[in-house]
């Protein structure tokens, strides 16, 4: 609603003159990336569109918006500009002009093909199903090379730092991974003249980055123009260590062989006095063999005299015993001061292959002319990647088990395998194994110790052949029971790591209350915030017939898991198929503060079934501290440690929290915290009032246990009380037979002008009002002597004060009209809490004494049952006094 109102006001300005159309103000101060943020949508540089003002107004084809690049302090950022096309429409010169659908101007037939007046079309994406691979080498030499003549970065360089990067471009996202000799703070992507195309802060808060010592991240939604530059190898990447130091810069070079990379090496200069050479190696394993395929990229080892045909020595050796296993002399025909590339194969015996996993083997490159040597240990691939799977029952087994689970594994910098396995609804787990999915042969046994549904641990190093099977998706996890039968299993697939602050792993989707779902239906969710305060999510589902189902992904949050807790749901995305991913930028700082304090669940909703077949358990979702409101009074959150009625308003909800329970708006209840108090919920606020007791006429009233008011007990009352289950019910409250009380009518409290009684025999509740004496003056001249007085008096008469005896006498004078009442009740009539009789089908506004009819609530008698509901409010009814509060809550 707010977004619609903002666009409407902007639309009015655009009609008057050409002015820039502001985008989503909430994020504009935090997000200044290489794209535009319009409402809740990212628009790429160079794109154009017509704004959609929602279902009531639709798309405004006479307004055209564009995302244009703007240089801001050496950084290219996107800016939204919009203009009114009606001002540009040509003067019509024909008798019968035509206006085509989805266009703004009426044109003559000969002008219909003019591209200046066609509607904006979305850009076509590049092939989103394939992956492109790029590699970079960053050193002082490369930084001097690319920073020459630029003012953006100094050319001094961090003398002791080198780094190598791996890049995977997939579905418009550029995933990056780095090995570096020290941890950088920021990463920049630039063009050849130093314009910053994208800049990211580097976080090491994730378990994966801390354990693997890698730098991981993703540049999301790379624009078409930048994609072309990427394909042409015209994009540079820089790592920065702090505000005052210099950067290491390198060029992104296409390297399709990276898709087979199993091991990596970062090569440094052994002697800095000999120069600042560096290198990297991409090492893959030939299929089922001991042959390594090695691609070398290196720079800084040649002297100015090395012009052509220079030999280099490449060694694979064990530095602990100086034993050289491979020594190849390779020819570099055209040595370069920039980047040199060599490819070769090396056959290693099995013991040496296994030593690769132990990081006991190093690789070196030596210029035989300049004697400059770069070397480094061979270690696991530099790509930030984990392997994950959904664990479900085997569809071929016809098992009726509801067991499900997930698993994700990764290698640390010592090449140990870290595994995390979660199992739901599975008992008697006796074996957990890493298996070959093709041959169903156990590769390694894992510890089957199940604690709170989890199996976590580390495994000694896999062999290179086993690692290669893992990379190719040929390994899986199987969990077995006592009879060696498979409980659940799944195939491990690679997933590129994307930084989510504070999130170490995925969350399991478990079955909800939907029926007739396949036993193997399950899934997992990765969800979290990045440092730019954007919510990222990735969902993977497993089950039958997912391609034909219309699904929605919702995020729900609750303040606390107690009865009646209010649930707020946000639709993140509609999708079909087995996977979905995306981002959400619609959350304000206040909403993220609420999410940080609340419990969150992600829900898969089936539109056709109108049910949620899968959802994650309620859990906390970490929110970066920088994304939370900086002032303590920006958001008033509910303090669940206190039930003070004056401090438990819940911002954004229409419920009240009291006594570890939530209550609906307008409801009333007896306080569980303070005896003999009645409470009600009004506008999300709890108000409690002490009991007011009616007078009694007997000499020896009795106050029974659990009661707040004394009662006169007669013999038949005592007989009725002997039956513990006999109670009267009024307003969801229970009363003992023979008791009397004043009715509680929120928001005014106890109405002392009526006394309710519970008939000890029939358990019928009657609430007759006090009969006032006749007036000696006209009704319009009568006044109420006080706010709590029940009867009006004439101005000159003294206010009458009723004694307890008079009140009891007036109460006894109340007679029922037996015949008329019996007839109306027999025909489906009803009584309200005050005893007033209504015919079947009759509607009315409930009466609040001293306040009149409560017109925001409509009650109806239907087949002897009374149902009351608040007036339903729509967007067009905000001026209605009954709807103003609801509209205010929407605006918040």
Mean pLDDT of 701-721: 72
Does one domain contain both 356 and 402? no
Interval 546-564 mean pLDDT: 85
Mean pLDDT of 705-712: 82
Look at residue 272 and tell me if it is in a domain: yes
Q: Highest mean pLDDT range out of 538-547, 548-557, 866-875?
A: 548-557
Find how far residue 362's CA is from the centre of its chain: 44
Domain boundary among 324, 352, 380: 380
**Would you place residue 891 in the very low, low, confident or very high pLDDT band (cuts 50, 70, 90)?**
very low
Q: Residue 756 belongs to what H/E stretch? A: strand 756-758
pLDDT at 189 over 90: yes
Q: What residues have CB less than 8 Å from 348, skipping those under 6 apart?
A: 290, 291, 292, 316, 325, 326, 356
| Mean pLDDT across 46-57 | 83
> Residue 26 — very low, low, confident or very high, per pLDDT cuts 50/70/90?
very low
> How big, in percent rounded to 5, are the helix, strand and coil portions of the chain?
15, 35, 50
Q: 716 forms bridges with which residues in the sheet?
A: none
Counting Cα atoms < 13 Å in the Cβ hemisphere of 881 gives 4
* 757 burial level (CB within 10 Å; 0-12, 13-18, 19+): buried
CA dist 787 and 808 (Å) reads 22
Residue 650 has pLDDT above 70, yes or no: no
Q: CA-based angle 482:485:488, to the nearest 5?
A: 110
Of 662, 627, 624, nearest to 643 (Cα)?
Answer: 662
Do 96 and 201 fall into the same domain? Answer: no
888 domain-assigned? yes
Are 66 and 158 part of one and the same domain?
no
Q: Tell me the average pLDDT across 44-56.
A: 85
Question: Is the domain of 265 the same as that of 361?
Answer: yes
75 and 153 part of one domain: no
- Would 759 be classed as within a structural domain? no
What is the pLDDT, as a whole number, of residue 621? Answer: 92
Is the predicted pLDDT of residue 153 greater than 60, yes or no? no
Q: Are 48 and 56 in contact (CB under 8 A)?
A: no
| E strand or H helix at 478 | strand 475-480
Flag whether pLDDT at 146 surpasses 80.
no
Residue with tokens 């210099």: 246
Rounded-to-integer distance, Cα 600 and Cα 617, Å: 8
359 and 398 inside one domain: no
User: Based on the domain organization, do 367 and 388 belong to the same domain?
Assistant: no
Residue appearing with tokens 């003070």: 644
Q: What DSSP string describes 327-348?
A: EEEEEESS--SS-EEEEEEEE-
- Of the listed ranges 112-126, 306-320, 449-463, 824-838, the least confidently predicted one is 112-126
ω into 212 cis (within 30 of 0): no
Evaluate whether residue 822 is within a structural domain: no
**β-sheet bridge partners, residue 394:** none
Decide: residue 294, CB within 10 A, 0-12 exposed, 13-18 middle, 19+ buried: buried
- Tell me, what's the pLDDT at 428? 78
Answer yes or no: is 757 within a domain: no
Task: Specify the DSSP class assigned to residue 785.
Answer: S
Counting every residue written for the chain, the total comes to 892
| Cα gap 463→354, rounded to integer Å | 6
Residue 173 CB neighbour total at 10 angstroms: 16
What's the CA gap between 787 and 799, in Å, rounded?
Answer: 12
Q: For a pLDDT cut of 70, what percent of the chain falls above it?
A: 80
Does residue 649 sit within a domain?
no
CA–CA dist 404, 541 (Å, integer) = 12
**Which token pair is 88?**
């540009």
Question: How confident is the model at residue 696, as a pLDDT?
Answer: 84
Residue 369: which domain range?
A: 261-289+299-380
- The pLDDT value given to residue 80: 92
| Average per-residue pLDDT for the chain | 80
Residue position matching structure tokens 């009351």: 868
For residue 819, being part of any structural domain is answered with no
- Judge contact between 291 and 345, C-beta under 8 A: yes
- Pairwise pLDDT comparison (245 vs 491), residue with the higher score: 491
Q: What is the pLDDT of residue 365?
A: 93
pLDDT reading at 173 higher than 60: yes
Dihedral angle of Cα 203, 208, 211, 214, to the nearest 10 degrees = -60
- Residue 266 and residue 201 share a domain: no
CATH classification of the domain holding 434: 2.60.40.200
Domain presence at residue 98 = yes
pLDDT digits (tens, 9 = 90+) for 262-314: 999 999 987 766 667 899 999 999 876 788 999 999 998 888 888 888 899 99
Task: Look at residue 167 in the predicted model and tell me its pLDDT.
Answer: 97
Q: Report the pLDDT averaged over residues 217-222.
A: 91
Show which of 321, 350, 380 is a domain's final residue.
380
Per-residue model confidence (pLDDT) at position 251:
93
Average pLDDT over residues 532-555: 87
Q: Kindly state whether residues 229 and 160 are assigned to the same domain.
A: yes
Structure tokens at 741: 């009380």
Q: What local confidence, expressed as pLDDT, does residue 551 receive?
A: 92
Residues 6+ apart with CB under 8 A from 851: 748
Of 592, 607, 730, 627, give the one whose Cα is nearest residue 669: 730
Q: Are residues 104 and 7 both part of a single domain?
A: yes
**Per-residue pLDDT reduced to its tens digit, 92-136:** 888 888 888 888 888 888 777 776 666 655 555 555 678 999 999
pLDDT at 151 over 60: no
Is residue 644's pLDDT more than 50? no
Domain count, the chain: 5
* Token code pair at residue 416: 């140990």
Q: 332: which 2 tokens?
A: 């570099």
Residues 362 and 394 reside in one and the same domain? no
760-766 long-range contacts (CB < 8 A, ≥24 apart) are 760/714, 760/716, 760/717, 760/720, 761/716, 761/720, 761/737, 763/726, 763/727, 763/728, 763/737, 764/728, 765/728, 765/729, 765/730, 765/735, 765/833, 765/835, 766/814, 766/816, 766/835
User: Looking at residue 653, what is its pLDDT?
Assistant: 63
Q: What confidence score (pLDDT) does residue 144 get?
A: 59
- The three-state secondary structure class of 352 is helix
DSSP, collapsed to helix, strand or coil, labels residue 883 as coil
Supply 157's token pair: 């360089």
Do 482 and 495 belong together in one domain? yes
**Domain termination site, one of 450, 469, 499:** 499
Stated pTM of the model: 0.71
The phi and psi torsions of 254 (rounded to 5 degrees) equal -65, 135
């Amino acid at each position: 609603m707010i977004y619609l109102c903002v666009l409407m006001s902007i639309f009015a300005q655009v009609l008057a003159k050409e002015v820039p159309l502001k985008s989503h103000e909430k994020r504009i101060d935090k997000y200044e990336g290489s794209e535009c943020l319009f409402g809740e949508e990212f628009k790429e540089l160079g794109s154009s569109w017509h704004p959609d003002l929602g279902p009531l107004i639709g798309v405004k084809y006479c307004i055209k918006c564009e995302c244009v690049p703007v240089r801001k302090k050496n950084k290219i950022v996107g800016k939204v500009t919009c203009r009114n096309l009606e001002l540009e429409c040509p003067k019509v010169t024909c008798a019968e002009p035509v206006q085509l659908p989805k266009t703004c101007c009426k044109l003559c037939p000969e002008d219909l093909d003019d591209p200046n007046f066609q509607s904006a079309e979305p850009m076509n994406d590049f092939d989103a199903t394939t992956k492109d691979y790029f590699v970079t080498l960053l050193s002082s030499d490369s930084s001097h090379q690319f920073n020459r003549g630029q003012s953006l970065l100094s050319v001094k360089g961090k003398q002791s730092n080198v780094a190598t990067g791996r890049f995977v471009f997939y579905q418009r996202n550029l995933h990056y991974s780095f090995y570096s000799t020290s941890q950088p703070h920021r990463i920049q992507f630039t063009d050849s003249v130093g314009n910053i195309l994208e800049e990211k802060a580097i976080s090491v808060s994730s378990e994966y980055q801390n354990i693997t010592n890698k730098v991981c991240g993703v540049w999301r939604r790379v624009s078409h123009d930048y994609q072309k530059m990427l394909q042409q190898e015209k994009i540079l990447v820089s790592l920065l260590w702090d505000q005052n130091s210099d950067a290491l810069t390198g060029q992104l070079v296409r390297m399709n062989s990276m898709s087979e990379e199993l091991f990596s090496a970062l090569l440094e200069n052994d002697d800095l006095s000999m120069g600042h050479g560096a290198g990297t190696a991409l090492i893959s394993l030939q299929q089922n063999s001991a042959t390594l395929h090695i691609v070398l990229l290196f720079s800084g080892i040649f002297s100015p005299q090395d012009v052509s045909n220079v030999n280099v020595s490449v060694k694979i050796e064990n530095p602990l015993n100086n034993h050289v296993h491979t020594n190849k002399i390779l020819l570099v025909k055209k040595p370069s001061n920039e980047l040199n590339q060599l490819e070769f194969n090396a056959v290693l015996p099995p013991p040496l292959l296994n030593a690769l996993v132990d990081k006991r083997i190093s690789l070196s490159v030596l210029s035989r002319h300049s004697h400059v040597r770069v070397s480094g240990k061979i270690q696991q691939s530099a790509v930030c990647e984990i392997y994950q799977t959904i664990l479900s029952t085997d569809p071929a087994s016809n098992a009726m088990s509801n067991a499900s689970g997930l698993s994700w594994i990764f290698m640390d910098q010592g090449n140990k395998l870290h595994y995390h396995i979660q199992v739901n609804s599975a008992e008697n787990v006796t074996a957990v194994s890493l298996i070959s999915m093709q041959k169903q042969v156990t590769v390694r046994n894992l510890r089957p110790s199940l604690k709170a549904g989890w199996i976590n641990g580390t495994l000694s190093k896999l062999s290179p052949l086993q690692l290669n099977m893992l990379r190719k998706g040929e390994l899986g996890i199987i969990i077995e029971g006592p009879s060696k039968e498979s409980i659940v299993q799944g195939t491990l697939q690679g997933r590129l790591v994307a930084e989510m602050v504070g999130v170490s792993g995925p969350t399991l989707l478990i079955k909800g209350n939907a029926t007739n779902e396949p036993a193997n239906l399950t899934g997992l969710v990765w969800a979290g915030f990045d440092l730019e305060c954007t919510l990222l999510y990735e969902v993977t589902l497993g089950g039958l017939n997912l391609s034909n189902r219309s699904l929605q992904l919702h995020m729900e949050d609750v303040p606390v898991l107690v009865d009646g807790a209010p649930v707020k749901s946000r639709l993140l995305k509609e999708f079909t198929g087995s996977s979905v991913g995306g981002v959400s930028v619609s959350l304000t700082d206040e909403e993220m503060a609420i999410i940080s304090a609340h419990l969150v669940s992600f829900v898969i909703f089936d539109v056709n079934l109108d049910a949620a077949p899968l959802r994650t358990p309620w859990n906390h979702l970490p929110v970066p501290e920088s994304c939370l409101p900086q002032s303590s009074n920006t958001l008033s959150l509910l303090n669940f440690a206190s039930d003070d009625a004056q401090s438990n308003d819940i911002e954004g909800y229409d419920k009240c929290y009291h006594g570890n329970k939530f209550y609906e708006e307008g409801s009333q209840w007896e306080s569980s915290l303070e005896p003999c108090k009645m409470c009600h919920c009004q506008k999300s606020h709890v108000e409690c009032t002490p009991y007011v007791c009616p007078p009694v006429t007997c000499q020896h009233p009795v106050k029974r246990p659990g009661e707040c008011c004394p009662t006169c007990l007669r013999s038949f009352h005592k007989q009725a009380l002997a039956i513990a289950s006999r109670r009267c019910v009024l307003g969801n409250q229970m009363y003992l037979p023979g008791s009397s009380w004043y009715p509680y009518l929120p928001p005014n409290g106890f109405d002392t002008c009526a006394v309710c009684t519970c008939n000890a025999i029939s358990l019928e509740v009657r609430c007759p009002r006090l009969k006032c004496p006749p007036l000696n003056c006209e009704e319009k001249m009568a006044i109420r002597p006080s706010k709590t007085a029940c009867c009006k008096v004439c101005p000159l008469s003294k206010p009458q004060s009723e004694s307890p005896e008079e009140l009891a006498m007036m109460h006894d004078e109340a007679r029922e009209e037996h015949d008329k009442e019996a007839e109306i009740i027999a025909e489906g009539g009803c009584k309200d809490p005050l005893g007033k009789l209504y015919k079947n089908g009759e509607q009315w506004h409930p009466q609040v004494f001293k306040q009149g009819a409560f017109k925001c609530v409509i009650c109806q008698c239907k087949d002897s049952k009374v149902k009351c509901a608040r007036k339903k409010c729509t967007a067009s009814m905000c001026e209605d006094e009954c709807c103003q509060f609801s509209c205010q809550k929407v605006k918040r």
